Structures are given as C-alpha cells and as structure tokens.
Amino acid sequence: MRFRKSQHSIYNTEYHIVWIPRYRLRILGGTVKGYLESTLRHLEGLEDDIEVIRINVQNDHVHMVAVIPPRFSVAQVVKYMKSMTGRHLKEKFEHMKKAIWGRGGIWSVGYFVSSVGVSERVILDYVEYQEKEDKGQLKIEFGGR
C-alpha cells in the first residue's frame, strides 16, 4: 500500500474489481488469458495514474486490483476497460465473435467492486501528524509522484 499524490489530493483508492463474460461463458482460457492480462495492463487510452496492480483471469471471470484516482468514478473506468477489452478480444479471436454472436458484447453488464482499505493505525498516524506535516516540521513520505 502506498499513498499517491495528485495536484490537489493525497489518496489510496485501491479497488478489487471482478466481472464475467456474458452468460458466464467459459471463454477466457488458453491464449485468451495471456492476451487479456497483457491488454488490461497496457490499455490504450487509460489515464496514466490509473494503475492495474494485479490481474487474475480465470476461464469465466476476471479479477483485478486497480488504483483509480478519486477524480474518476469506478463505474466509468470499468465501463471503459470492459468495452475496450471486448473490442480487442473480438478483433484478435474469431471464436469470440461466434461465442456471443447476436447476444451483444462479450462482457456481462454488471461487475463487483470493493475497496481495499488501510488499517486504522495508518489513518490515526496520518491524523496525528498532519498538523506537523502542514507546518513543515515533519516529513512523511507518501510514496507518490
């Protein structure tokens, strides 16, 4: 866990995100798995400060831990990831088009998300030392940019 800095905030907004293919089809195995993991790590058009920390693609679902800065909603980032990866998968793998032909996109509409929290001790330390930090008497390194 590390804190990140943006122009007007310090944050640690990590999310565990899970989504599934439409009808929970088991279509993400084999070479699709590696391609999808690579695509999610290097997704074109994704803001630089959105960071994919871990990915685990199973035959019928995707698990991911990602840092999404507070200026973005989780919903808009997940929607973008799903739409772009769906497009890439259809372009790369012919069987993807056949598996979902006439049924819409590759991905199911919904997703699961939960936040990955920090410990109470970290929050209490931050609150306790914030005044000293603001006065420049204490330098806490947040590990950001």
Residue 132: the pLDDT is 67
Global confidence as pTM? 0.80
Question: Is 125 domain-assigned?
Answer: no
- Spatial distance between the Cα atoms of 22 and 45, rounded to a whole number of angstroms: 24
CATH number for the domain spanning 64: value is 3.30.70.1290
Give the pLDDT confidence score for residue 2 in this predicted structure.
Answer: 78
Note whether 21 and 107 are within 8 A (CB). yes
Classify residue 53: in a domain, yes or no: yes
DSSP β-bridge partners for residue 17: 64, 113
Number of domains in the chain: 1
Does the residue 77 lie in any domain? yes
Regions of the chain with pLDDT less than 70: 1, 101-103, 131-145
**Domain coverage including residue 76:** 4-117
Q: Is residue 134 part of a domain?
A: no
- C-alpha 121/C-alpha 4 separation (Å) is 18
Both tokens of 21, joined, read 């293919």
Q: What is the pLDDT of residues 81-107, one digit of tens each?
A: 999 999 999 999 988 877 776 667 899
